[in-house]
Amino acid sequence: MSVNILIYFIKRLLKAIPVLLIIITIAFFMMRVAPGGPFTQDRKLLPEVEKNIQAAYHLDKPLYVQYGMYLGNVLTGDLGPSYKYKDFTVNELIALGAPVSLKLGLTALFVALLFGVYLGTIAALNQNKLIDYSVMTIAMTGLVVPSFVLAPLLTLVFGVYWKVLPVGGWNNGALENMILPVISLSLPLIAVMARLTRGGLIEVLRSNYIRTARAKGLPEWLVVTRHAMPAGLMPLVTYLAPATAGIVVGSVVVEQIFGLPGIGRYFVIGAMQRDYTLVMGVLILFSSLILFLNILADIAYSVLDPKVKLS
């Protein structure tokens, strides 16, 4: 089984390379054809100064030449220099922001998994009862309230009115600085995970093999945890792949609101300042994570449900 998984993983990885190449190509040319540029400023530069800057970053060359040079650098792991952060490469900026986004994102993901699976399981075991309706009402509320609304509200209540938590800053990942960003990131995920867990478990709990397990006199907790949960969580596994990539790379809105020096904030600043290489670097990282995690999700499918075969 392990050999089959390894072969499948390598095949899917090879198939993902052309997909990533297409994403890079489309993003590269879309950014270049948009009006303006990284050195377009309100104050016009002297022609000779602008010409020297363009030549220094190879922006004076034909577009297809720029693309070939950039792609060659990417294949060697070099994402290029930042056009706006002087003396920094994109690799260095991502390395600076990655620990912040990684710690914040994984913490929010853990909290979301813990509460989402728990609430979804409680709702599924009490289908069409008051507790089920209550959990789903909370879940719907979490779905309809976006992060750019939730984060300022939490800041206003806990930071401005009650003054119990800081309204921004990272402070080397101190607990009090992480509480509000983690809540802002995890609440929408909790809502989605609770609904997916509930739906998956309700379907599985009606299966014949679950009735057989109950007929044998197995305790209900054993029926749920050992027999129902692996198959019931399969819809959640599919959702976790893009959700994990998105939350690890960093929420653009949350990092901006709380002033966190993560990858998401660099992406916003790079987009606003037309920093081509910085935006491309974050995009490549995000796309690679999605492709890689989707492969892991498909492998997890076969582990959770033996009926699913890798092919």
Residue 308: per-residue pLDDT: 64
Domains in the chain: ranges and CATH: 93-304 (1.10.3720.10)
Q: What angle do CA 191, 197, 203 make, to 5 degrees?
A: 135
pLDDT in tens, 121-168: 999 999 889 999 998 888 888 778 877 788 889 999 998 899 899 988
Of 230, 224, 198, 202, the C-alpha closest to 119 is 198
Of 140, 174, 188, the C-alpha closest to 258 is 174
Residue with tokens 């939490």: 154
Residue 148: per-residue pLDDT: 78
Residue 137: burial class (beta carbons within 10 Å; 0-12, 13-18, 19+): exposed
User: Quick check: 135 and 161 in contact, CB under 8 A?
Assistant: no
- Rounded to whole angstroms, the Cα distance separating 277 from 70 reads 9
Residue with tokens 């901006």: 256
Residue with the larger pLDDT of the pair 306 and 127: 127
Confidence check: pLDDT of 306 > 80: no
pTM above 0.95, yes or no: no
Residue 76: per-residue pLDDT: 92
pLDDT in tens, 256-284: 888 888 888 888 888 888 888 999 998 89
3-state secondary structure the chain: CHHHHHHHHHHHHHHHHHHHHHHHHHHHHHHHHCCCCCCCCCCCCCHHHHHHHHHHCCCCCCHHHHHHHHHHHHHCCCCCECCCCCCCEHHHHHHHHHHHHHHHHHHHHHHHHHHHHHHHHHHHHCCCCHHHHHHHHHHHHHHHCCHHHHHHHHHHHHHHHCCCCCCCCCHHHCHHHHHHHHHHHHHHHHHHHHHHHHHHHHHHHCCHHHHHHHHCCCCHHHHHHHHHHHHHCHHHHHHHHHHHHHHHHCCHHHHHHCCCCCHHHHHHHHHHCCCHHHHHHHHHHHHHHHHHHHHHHHHHHHHHCCCCCCC
pLDDT in tens, 88-130: 899 999 999 888 888 888 899 999 999 999 999 999 999 889 9
